[in-house]
Amino acid sequence: MRIGLAIAAVLSVLASSALALAPAPRKPIAFDRMMGRWYEVARTANDRQAGCHGAYSDWVRTGAGRATVTNHCHKGSPGGPDSVFRSTARLVDAARAQISMGFFLGAVNQEYWVLDHADDYSWSIMATPGGNYVWVFSRQKSLPAAQRDALVARVKAFGYPVSRLEVGA
């Protein structure tokens, strides 16, 4: 029994320290305001998006608190072939700015937190709750360098290592 309690204690500490890596979202979201096109300004490097350039996502409402998300990018170079990846989004908790995305026909689900967003939803910062990955999105295809840098500074203020960000990929 002591071994079981010791294992449970270790797992609890590991789980709480993993969650401590993720900053709390700054404000609630209005899920319907997430609909439309989002251009990727910056992202943490990840295997799924390796070699992606000019990434953007189209969010389309499919019901209350639900949407389809179609992700696009050009593989290999800005003029490379279009790569399309579809997922579904479900609002988990608007007050906590939590969304769940389903991939591979719902076989894989991942929670995302909208850490911050402009009041007019002209930009947003989204991350995985474990603190491993972060994305900066904008409604504009490109941003002035000062605005882009200010958003990257916000990511840094959340505690993410901005040296791992791919900016304008």
pLDDT tens for each residue of 49-100: 888 898 999 999 999 999 999 999 999 888 899 999 899 999 999 999 999 9
Which comes out higher in pLDDT, residue 6 or 71?
71
Give the number of residues written for the chain: 169
| pTM given for the model | 0.83
d(C-alpha 94, C-alpha 28), whole Å:
5
**Residues 129 and 22: beta-carbon distance below 8 Å:** yes
Q: What radius of gyration do the chain's Cα atoms show?
A: 17
Spans of all domains in the chain: 2-167
Which comes out higher in pLDDT, residue 106 or 161?
161
Residues 113-140, mean pLDDT to the nearest whole number: 94
Q: What is the DSSP string of 115-154?
A: EEE-TTSSEEEEE-TTSS-EEEEESSSS--HHHHHHHHHH
Q: Is the pLDDT of residue 45 over 90?
A: no
Where does the chain show beta strands of DSSP type E? Answer: 36-44, 52-63, 66-75, 82-93, 98-103, 108-117, 123-127, 134-138, 165-167
d(C-alpha 75, C-alpha 54), whole Å:
9
Q: Which fold has domain 2-167?
A: Lipocalin (2.40.128)
d(C-alpha 110, C-alpha 80), whole Å:
28
Which pLDDT belongs to residue 11? 36
Residue 18: enclosing H or E segment and its boundaries? helix 2-20
Give the distance from CA 77 to its chain's centroid: 22
